[in-house]
Amino acid sequence: MKLVLVAGARPNFMKVAPILKGLRAYPEHFTPVFVHTGQHYDADMSDVFLADLGLPQPDHYLGVGSGTHAEQTAAVLEAFEPVVHAERPDVVIVVGDVNSTLAAALAAAKLCVPVAHVEAGLRSFDRTMPEEVNRILTDHLCDLLFTTCEDANANLRAEGIAEDKIHFVGNTMVESLLTFLPQAQRSAVGERLQLSRGDYCLVTLHRPSNVDDPNALAGLFGALQEIAEELKVVFPAHPRTQKRLREFGLWSPDKQAGSVVVLDPVGYVDFLWLEANARLVITDSGGVQEETTILGVPCLTVRQNTERPITISMGTNVLVGTDPRRLVAEAKRVLAGNGKRGSVPPLWDEHVSGRIVAALVTWWERRAPASVAAAAKEA
Ligand code: UD1
Ligand code: UDP
């Protein structure tokens, strides 16, 4: 079976890595082709993840870069179509909910190539989030939907997606975490930043609604400064966020803001160390809500909603909204020892890529006789 796997943005790499590794273990059965769209391109948003996760160099690098939603989505559509023509895969695998996910799925579906979506069915029910539009449209273009949790299965059923397309397999991001945690425990990032277990709060923020509006970002940054009076705050900032912090005059590399230490984004292994050893994590990331649940670290999510409610019902996550006063109050609750402990959701383990590969093989075997018959008829 020839499979094209598509990644483009930071959170995609940890989702494709275990699947690619699983497929590369059986070269007699699978020919995986790895495509990097180039949605993220800085070394610390891309190269470091290929290196940390042991990913091969991409077979195709599309170099689409940044742009408006239409520009970026269109650039992937245009650049990916010839790859599908050239490779003639049996299936295209897309992951997550970024613009590259939707564009690659759409290009393949229009060429009648079956598409599989890893992390299907998540819904925030908030269409002002560009990712929600990407999730819904991608799921409806796909032939195989690999889900991380029961609520995703229910969302897909409610949208009329046929039951036989839905495969509850677990969370590949968690498989990567469990694979790389031993290595992360040996990371020197703590020493480098003079951090010890439990003596700092880790922050990531990059949602446009939090960082593109001057008042919203100033309010949240002020809240972080207040929290930093009690506990050192370490903030590896996404390039979008760094740009805005500078633009709004809130921070610059030569004007560090008290105890809030703003850094460039860090690599995967170092970031896992920072997450695993933090007293508290404050974030608006999707993946970080999941990772903190597995690591048992209290997480405050600075959003009005989440497409990952299981991290609240079973995990360590608390949705705190975007009011800076509430964020400070909730952080103080955690610092007073009232952080959630949580438990591990079903199938969030190290066998997820194995389940995906098994489901692909079953699908292929069911499908192959029909295509073989069709090919024979054509001949
Ligand atoms: C994208 C995803 C978001 C995901 C996030 C993960 C979409 C719609 N959004 O948001 O779902 O949570 O990635 O990190 O797909 N930039 C750089 N260097 C880079 C990449 C980006 O400087 O390597 C800057 C550019 O100024 C760019 C901005 O960041 O315009 C935003 O990048 P973009 O890929 O459009 O969206 P993200 O905010 O990264
Ligand atoms: N991450 C990282 N370095 C950082 C910030 C995040 O390695 O400086 C990892 C994190 O461990 C998780 C993924 O990036 O695996 C989450 O990506 P991001 O927050 O960019 O996107 P989202 O999950 O919100 O789509």
Neighbours of 213 (CB within 10 A): 15
Among 238, 241, 302, say which to mutate for ligand 1: greatest number of ligand atoms within 8 Å of CB. 238
Q: What pLDDT shows up at residue 367?
A: 84
Helical residues (DSSP H) of the chain, grouped into ranges: 10-24, 47-52, 69-87, 99-110, 130-141, 150-158, 172-185, 189-192, 208-211, 214-228, 239-247, 268-277, 286-295, 310-313, 324-333, 352-378
pTM of the model: 0.97
Q: Could you tell me how far CA 121 lies from the centroid of its own chain? A: 14
Residue 287 to residue 195: CA distance in whole angstroms? 23
CB 118 within 8 A of CB 153: no
Q: b/e per residue, 262-298, with b = 16+ CB within 10 A?
A: beebbbbbbbbbbbbbbbbbbbbbbbbbbbbbbbebb
Average pLDDT of the chain to the nearest whole number: 96
Mean pLDDT check: name the lowest of 7-21, 153-167, 354-368: 354-368
From atom 19 of ligand 1, which residue's Cα is the shortest distance away?
40
Residue 165 to residue 1: CA distance in whole angstroms? 19
* Whether 206 is catalytic: yes
Mean pLDDT of 179-190: 98
- 373 band by pLDDT with thresholds 50, 70 and 90: very low
Which residues' Cβ are closer than 6 Å to ligand 1?
Answer: 9-11, 39-42, 45, 66, 72, 97-99, 130-131, 206, 238-240, 243
CB 116 within 8 A of CB 94: yes
| pLDDT tens per residue, range 291-318 | 999 999 999 999 999 999 999 999 999 9
Q: What pLDDT shows up at residue 102?
A: 99
| pLDDT tens per residue, range 229-269 | 999 999 999 999 999 999 999 998 877 667 799 999 999 99
Mean pLDDT of 362-372: 77
Q: Could you tell me how far CA 81 lies from the centroid of its own chain? A: 24
Residue 294 to residue 65: CA distance in whole angstroms? 32
* Assigned token pair, 15: 């989702």
| pLDDT tens per residue, range 321-333 | 999 999 999 999 9
Is the per-residue pLDDT at 3 higher than 80? yes
Mean pLDDT of 36-53: 98
